[in-house]
Amino acid sequence: MTQKRLFLLTDGPPSFLEITKFRDIQEVKVTSAPFLIRIPSLRIHTCSRPEVFEANLKTETELWNLDPQYMTQALTNVLLMDAVMGCLQTQRSISAAAKLAYFDQIKHEVPMMVPRITAETLKHKINPSVDLAEPQTVHVLLYTPGQLTCKDSQWEMNPKLWVALSGGRIVVFDAASWSLLQDCIQVGESQVTCMMGVVHNQVWIGSQDSVIYIFDTNTMTCNKQLTEHRSEVTALSVDTKHEHNSQYAYSCSSDGTILQWNSSGLTVKRQFLLTCDRLSSVQVHDGVLWCCCTGCIVELKKSGTPQRRIALPEDLQSMSNSFSCFIVIPERGQLWTGCADSADLFLWHINNHKHPFKRISLPGISGITCMIQVKNQIWVGCRGRHGVGGQCDGQLRSQVLVVDLDSFTVTKELQAHSDSIQTLCSAEDRYVLSGSARQDGRIAIWRVE
């Protein structure tokens, strides 16, 4: 494959067959050849010739075609291989050219047997650190919807994916084509900790420097800074009951401060102070605040006073463990919690919080880092163990697990990251996006059933 044409290289004599030019391709299908053994085959329909080109394929076990960086590297190396072979037809030049076969080299270095469920669910992978010297951790992801039906074409825009990397660096992708829109937006000098889309085309970005930065989604520029917090901003939230037209937004910081904002006037309406070791996140459901602290989940009354406190399960309290994430599902009366150093999900009844009513053991993980609810599913980001998924290369393999809300069972184990999952976000309940730590540094885009 070159940048314009597709060739078939035949065994034996040094000859080739031009299959087609890319501009002539009408349809590409992966089907099964009509043999006793169902062999995958590639069928290409073109407008330049009436017959269909069909070739048998080896088993598809890799996902390189979903990662543009791999494909770009492979195309570059095809040109290099051609140049090396053209210099001199000797065994030495053939050996040198073989080392440039990018996919073969990866396959020999790291066997990449991909489970069928992963291959079917994974839509795309992108590398937000492609122009940097080394991969960076994907700390936070945010999807903002587009305005494709706007009458004024000047303001029509595609949906965007906002990606927070290390050191206050943010990159923005077009979420319709997954192409890069903005390669570097610098948000202060400290680490971005949270992002949230708000009405009036705003994106709020919280930072370790205690500032909330307000960005315009159209121009991708910072219009205002909110400086009322005195310590690291750890989370941002809106009331889920009025998520798309809420006039109030909430922010919290590690010292236990919770601020309620008028999202249009950008002024503080109310302030609460929760006494705890560290306040890591907050969620709001019909005016009720749920707060995640190191060793407990706290529900606050509308007045700001604690109403109930849910502590770590007894068997985890002596292990220096902590809550890492939680989800409140008011219509089911349930609270789902995950812990940083436990492979179990704990489910609680909101009105009976002394003991969890359900404990779900998750396979092949050492801890839970993040969770989101999408439709009738809970998507769980995990920190993996060495050797998960049949790997024997000593690398850490982390999974995204999908749990059914009704049966409380794991329905999917998805493997596309070689470092712990740091963040999850939903794209209009059609896709879930996962971002990983720096050893992998990639974003995976998953289809939602």
In the sheet that holds 212-216, the strands lie side by side as 192-198, 202-207, 212-216, 222-226
Euclidean distance between CA atoms 279 and 326, whole angstroms: 13
Euclidean distance between CA atoms 174 and 162, whole angstroms: 9
- Domain membership of residue 393 (yes or no) is no
pLDDT at 431 over 70: yes
Position 56, amino acid: N
Same domain? For 7 and 53 the reply is: yes
- Domain membership of residue 28 (yes or no) is yes
Alpha helices in 182-313 (DSSP H): none
Q: What pLDDT is attached to residue 87?
A: 56
pLDDT at 81 over 70: no
- Domain membership of residue 174 (yes or no) is no
Give pTM, 2 decimals.
Answer: 0.76
Euclidean distance between CA atoms 346 and 445, whole angstroms: 27
Asked which of 146-150, 162-166, 440-444 is least confident by mean pLDDT, the reply is 146-150
- Domain membership of residue 51 (yes or no) is yes
Per-residue pLDDT band at 406 (split at 50, 70, 90) = very high
Domain boundary among 14, 38, 59: 59
- Domain membership of residue 192 (yes or no) is no
Same domain? For 55 and 1 the reply is: yes
- Domain membership of residue 6 (yes or no) is yes
Q: What pLDDT is attached to residue 370?
A: 97
Same domain? For 14 and 47 the reply is: yes
Q: What pLDDT is attached to residue 345?
A: 97
Least Cα distance to 141 among 418, 436, 398, 375 occurs for: 436
Interacting residues of 315 by C-beta distance below 8 A, sequence separation 6+: none
Euclidean distance between CA atoms 192 and 233, whole angstroms: 9
Per-residue pLDDT band at 223 (split at 50, 70, 90) = very high
Average pLDDT, the chain: 83
18: burial class by Cβ within 10 Å (0-12, 13-18, 19+)?
A: exposed
| Cβ contact 274:318 at 8 Å | no
Same domain? For 33 and 53 the reply is: yes
Domain extent, residue 23, equals 1-59
Same domain? For 2 and 54 the reply is: yes
User: For the CA atoms of 67, 68, 73, 78, what is the dihedral angle to 10 degrees?
Assistant: 100
Per-residue pLDDT band at 242 (split at 50, 70, 90) = low
The secondary structure of 181-213 as a DSSP string is: EEEEEE-SSS-EEEEEEETTTEEEEEETTS-EE
| Cβ contact 312:295 at 8 Å | yes
Summarize the confidence of residues 90-111 as an average pLDDT.
56
pLDDT at 149 over 60: no
How many separate domains does the chain show? 2
DSSP 96: H
- Domain membership of residue 12 (yes or no) is yes
The span from the first CA to the last CA of the chain, in angstroms, equals 33
The half-sphere exposure of 437 on its side-chain side, counting CA atoms within 13 A, is 15
The half-sphere exposure of 369 on its side-chain side, counting CA atoms within 13 A, is 24
Position 433, amino acid: L
Same domain? For 47 and 79 the reply is: no
Least Cα distance to 252 among 238, 264, 266, 263 occurs for: 238
Same domain? For 47 and 6 the reply is: yes
Interacting residues of 374 by C-beta distance below 8 A, sequence separation 6+: 426, 429, 432, 448
Helix axis angle, 102-109 to 68-87, nearest 10°: 110
The secondary structure of 118-154 as a DSSP string is: HHHHEEEEE-TTTTSSS-----EEEEE---TT-SSGG
Helix axis angle, 68-87 to 91-98, nearest 10°: 170
- Domain membership of residue 243 (yes or no) is no
